[in-house]
Amino acid sequence: MCGIVAYLGERDAYHVVLKGLKRLEYRGYDSAGIAISADDQLKLFKKKGNVSDLESFIEGKDLSGGAAIGHTRWATHGEPTDNNAHPHLSSDGSLAIIHNGIIENYSSIKQELINKGHVFKSDTDSEVAIHFIEDIQKNNHCALDEAVRIALTKIVGAYAIVIADKHDPDLLIAARKGSPLVIGVGKGEYFLASDATPIVEYTNEVVYLNDYEIAVLRKSGMILKNIEDVQTNPYVQTIDLELDAIEKGGYKHFMLKEIFEQPKSIQDALRGRLNAAKGDLALGGIRDYVNRIVSADRIIILACGTSWHAGLVAEYFFEDWCRVPVEVEYASEFRYRNPIVREGDVIIAISQSGETADTLAAIELAKAKGGIIFGVVNAVGSSIARATHVGAYIHAGPEIGVASTKAFTSQVTVLSMIAMIVAYKKGTISQTRYHELLAELETIPSKVEKALELSEESEKIARMFSDATNFLYLGRGYNFPVALEGALKLKEISYIHAEGYPAAEMKHGPIALIDEEMPVVFIATRDSSYDKIVSNIQEVKARKGKVIAIVTEGDVLIPKIADYVIEVPVTNEALMPLVSVIPLQLLSYYIADIRGCNVDQPRNLAKSVTVE
Ligand code: G6P
Spatial separation of the C-alpha atoms in residues 423 and 135, rounded to whole Å: 60
Q: Is the bond preceding residue 87 a cis peptide, omega within 30 degrees?
A: yes
Is a pLDDT exceeding 90 seen at residue 343?
A: no
What is the per-residue DSSP string for 282-346? --GGGGGGHHHHHT-SEEEEEE-HHHHHHHHHHHHHHHHHH---EEEEEHHHHTTS-----TTEE
Q: What are 372-385's pLDDT values in tens digits?
A: 999 999 988 888 99
Q: What is the percentage of the chain residues whose pLDDT exceeds 70? A: 100
Domains 248-451 and 453-599 fall in the same CATH topology:
yes
Give the mean model confidence (pLDDT) for residues 27-55: 92
Ligand 1 neighbour 382 (Cβ under 6 A): no
Is 2 an active-site residue?
yes
Q: How far is the CA of 215 from the centre of ligand 1 (A)?
A: 29
Could you give phi then psi for residue 224, rounded to 5 degrees? -115, 135
Active-site position among 22, 257, 406, 607:
607
The distance in angstroms from the start CA to the end CA of the chain is 10
Spatial separation of the C-alpha atoms in residues 375 and 359, rounded to whole Å: 11
- Domain positions in the chain are 3-244, 248-451, 453-599
pLDDT class of 103 with cuts at 50, 70, 90: very high
- Exposed (0-12), middle (13-18) or buried (19+): which is 239, by Cβ within 10 Å? middle
Lowest mean pLDDT among 71-80, 182-191, 334-343, 515-524: 71-80
Give the mean model confidence (pLDDT) for residues 340-355: 94
pLDDT on residue 584: 98
Among the CATH numbers 3.30.1360.70, 3.60.20.10, 3.60.20.40, 3.40.50.720, which is that of 3-244? 3.60.20.10
pTM: 0.82
Cβ proximity of 496 and 490 under 8 Å: yes
Ligand 1 neighbour 529 (Cβ under 6 A): no
Spatial separation of the C-alpha atoms in residues 479 and 441, rounded to whole Å: 17
Ligand 1 neighbour 356 (Cβ under 6 A): yes
Q: What are 533-565's pLDDT values in tens digits?
A: 999 999 999 999 999 999 999 999 999 999 999
Q: What are 197-231's pLDDT values in tens digits?
A: 999 999 999 999 999 999 999 999 999 999 999 99
Atom of ligand 1 nearest to the CA of 353: 14
Cβ proximity of 152 and 129 under 8 Å: no
Domain 248-451 belongs in CATH node 3.40.50.10490 = yes
pLDDT on residue 556: 95
CA trace torsion 22, 24, 26, 28 (10° rounding):
-100
Could you give phi then psi for residue 587, rounded to 5 degrees? -60, -45
The 10 Å Cβ neighbour count of residue 435 is 16
Strand order in the sheet with 298-303: 326-330, 298-303, 345-351, 372-377, 390-393
Ligand 1 neighbour 309 (Cβ under 6 A): no
CA trace torsion 76, 125, 5, 3 (10° rounding):
-10
In one letter, which amino acid is 161? I
Q: What are 281-340's pLDDT values in tens digits?
A: 999 888 899 999 999 999 999 999 999 999 999 999 999 999 999 999 999 999 898 999
pLDDT on residue 1: 67
Give the mean model confidence (pLDDT) for residues 99-119: 94
Among the CATH numbers 3.40.50.10490, 3.30.830.10, 3.40.1280.10, 1.25.50.10, which is that of 453-599? 3.40.50.10490
Q: What are 137-153's pLDDT values in tens digits?
A: 999 999 999 999 999 99
Cβ proximity of 564 and 548 under 8 Å: yes
Spatial separation of the C-alpha atoms in residues 530 and 533, rounded to whole Å: 5
What is the per-residue DSSP string for 349-403? EEESSS--HHHHHHHHHHHHTT-EEEEEESSTT-HHHHHSSEEEE-------SSS
Strand order in the sheet with 88-89: 88-89, 95-103, 157-165, 172-177, 213-218, 221-226, 231-232
Residue 451 CA, distance from chain mean position: 25
Is a pLDDT exceeding 70 seen at residue 487?
A: yes
Reported as type and span, the H/E element at residue 269 is helix 262-270
Ligand 1 neighbour 361 (Cβ under 6 A): no
Atom of ligand 1 nearest to the CA of 402: 8
Average pLDDT across the chain, whole number: 94
Spatial separation of the C-alpha atoms in residues 284 and 288, rounded to whole Å: 8
pLDDT on residue 161: 97
Q: What is the percentage of the chain residues whose pLDDT exceeds 90? A: 84
pLDDT class of 519 with cuts at 50, 70, 90: very high
Give the mean model confidence (pLDDT) for residues 338-367: 94
Pocket of ligand 1, candidates 585, 607, 611, 612: which has the most ligand atoms within 8 Å of its Cβ, to mutate? Answer: 607
pLDDT on residue 249: 79
Q: How far is the CA of 282 from the centre of ligand 1 (A)?
A: 27
Of all residues in the chain, what percent are helix, strand and coil, respectively (each to 5)?
A: 40, 25, 35
Q: How far is the CA of 304 from the centre of ligand 1 (A)?
A: 6
pLDDT class of 112 with cuts at 50, 70, 90: very high
Spatial separation of the C-alpha atoms in residues 277 and 439, rounded to whole Å: 7
Ligand 1 neighbour 609 (Cβ under 6 A): yes
User: Residue 30: how many CA atoms within 13 Å on its side-chain side?
Assistant: 18
